[in-house]
Amino acid sequence: MAAMKCFECQYELCETDPNVKTCDNAFLCYSTTTWSPLKRIYEYNKGCIPDRHHQQLICGTKLSKINDTHHVFYRSHTTYNSYCCQQDLCNDWFPKIIDNTSKTASVNNEIVNESAESGVGVMFVVYIMAAIFIIMTVIGVIVFRLRKKHKQKMSHLLRTGLSTTNVEKSSNDCTYNEGLRVTAAGDSTLREVFEHSVTSGSGSGLPLLIQRTLAKQIHLEECIGKGRYGEVWRGIWQSDNIAVKIFYSRDEMSWNRETEIYSTVMLRHENILAFLGSDVTSYNSCTQLWLITAYHELGSLYDFLNETPLDIKQMLSIIHSIVSGILHLHTEIFGGLGKPAIAHRDIKSKNILMKDTYNCCIADFGLAVTHTQTTGKLDVAENHRVGTKRYMAPEVLNQTLKSDIFESYKMADIYSLALVLWEVVRRTRIDGCFEDYCVPYYNCVPNDPSFDDMKKIVSIDQQRPEMQENYKSNNVLLQLEKIMRESWSPNPSSRLTALRIKKSLLKISDEDTSLNV
């Protein structure tokens, strides 16, 4: 298809700008109308769609033929209508929203009017629409049955422990626990969005045009978590579950930092929480800062360990996925689409999410610091938040951390990682027995320890979490104990790197082929 020229404008410029602007090399032209209930105004956009991926997101996949050369794609919602066409400068009008509460988009009415003006009888149109409705119903039933059958198959594979690696390798992103999703051809799913982002080397989630109106398209279903920063909700976007982290306005710096980190090129990784976008919206005259990500129904590693004891294979797989995510953060990628090295600064079990019963992904980058070796730039964002005191490294507690050296932040991450490894290993069955879940230093400090409490235990007394005696009877746990002891050393320069830990885990797995991490 030859590239097209389209009209281009945004918001109020579409009504007030006397100079008509155009864009070139379009795959399709589009115009959109969005009703803003809060502002009580219509917002308009025109422009070029560069490729088929953006067509699915902006226009949907509904196709109607007006004449032999003019085809229209459209998406209809109660507050959003789009019109996409395949001719030069064909987006010279805006689709109408007849009734803000109506469930029927005006694009259908426009197409019916075109057909009526062409001499097609009203009854004929009714018959055609009825036939289309019946066909779509049949297709919907078929898709529903296929999806249900596929879910059953994936559940069976996950129970037998055979599918985890295969699903992750085939999807190459941070998708749902149910694996690949069966949909009608051309439907835009979260998996397709993430997969496109991976193949393009992106870390920025959805295109900026979509992020601007993302909050208007999301329906919040239930609150699934609260913290000092705000709340986390499960929402629905285009029939998919997504997670919405809503920041309090006082924590705008954390929202800015997380958005900035998630937008880092080449950040996307199977063990980093998948990012859709961020948006600013208003509720009851209060500004809300939204961060939209993939949703994982098993919750955090903290929640999972509270409920579930682990076998050795499962424990090793979980640890391996956590270390892989941190290694990807700590590693700088050089080149045109490179990535700075990133230190998390708040590694803990509550900031690690369970993708499935064998794999995790790292979340919450509100305190992250970045470093680019080629320029020497160290970017430590200003933020009133501090890390979680229970997981703070001794050099952070005694304030000897070298804040101008990036390696210092990485080694502080390794100390926190060692405490998380201790939490996971402690919940592992050994000869049929397992310990209750406990947080690090549960027997030394209160539930909400102060900075001074942790400083005395960790820096002054140099205490560390207790190891179980029965670790010595198991070669795997004995080697993991050695990794933990080296990783929480009081001397930062003596700690293992994430790469060294990952290699050690793979060596443990190679020594026992039944583990197969």
Where is mean pLDDT largest: 167-171, 212-216, 410-414?
Answer: 410-414
pLDDT digits (tens, 9 = 90+) for 105-156: 444 444 434 444 444 567 788 889 899 999 999 998 998 888 777 666 555 5
Using DSSP's 3-state secondary structure scheme, residue 20 falls into coil
| Domain boundary assignment for the chain | 4-120, 161-294, 301-511
pLDDT higher than threshold 70 for residue 162: no
Q: In what order do the strands lie in the sheet with 240-247?
A: 219-226, 230-237, 240-247, 286-294, 275-283
Q: Which of 251, 279, 346, 413 is catalytic?
A: 346
Q: CA gyration radius for the chain?
A: 27
Residue 113 vs residue 379, higher pLDDT = 379
CB-based contacts of 364, cutoff 8 Å, min separation 6: 258, 346, 351
CATH topology for 301-511 is: Transferase(Phosphotransferase); domain 1 (1.10.510)
Give CA–CA dist 76/60, Å, rounded: 8
pLDDT higher than threshold 90 for residue 486: yes
Q: How many CB atoms lie within 10 A of CB 404?
A: 8
CATH architecture for residues 161-294: 2-Layer Sandwich (3.30)
How many residues are given for the chain?
A: 517
pLDDT digits (tens, 9 = 90+) for 271-312: 999 998 888 888 777 888 999 999 999 999 999 999 999 999
pLDDT higher than threshold 70 for residue 159: no
Residue 53 CA neighbour count, 13 Å, CB half: 15
Q: pLDDT exceeding 90 applies to what percent of the chain?
A: 42
End-to-end CA distance of the chain: 47
Give CA–CA dist 372/379, Å, rounded: 9
From 115, 93, 95, select the one nearest 105 (Cα to Cα): 95
pLDDT computed for residue 191 by the predictor: 53
- Burial label for 382, CB within 10 Å (0-12, 13-18, 19+), is exposed
Joined tokens for residue 346: 């708040």
Q: List helix spans (H) across 278-434.
A: 301-307, 312-330, 394-397, 406-426
pLDDT computed for residue 70 by the predictor: 53
Joined tokens for residue 193: 């969005």
Q: Please, what is the average pLDDT of the chain? A: 80
Q: How many CB atoms lie within 10 A of CB 184?
A: 12
Give CA–CA dist 99/101, Å, rounded: 5
Q: Does domain 4-120 have CATH number 3.30.465.10?
A: no
The verdict on whether 346 is a catalytic residue reads yes
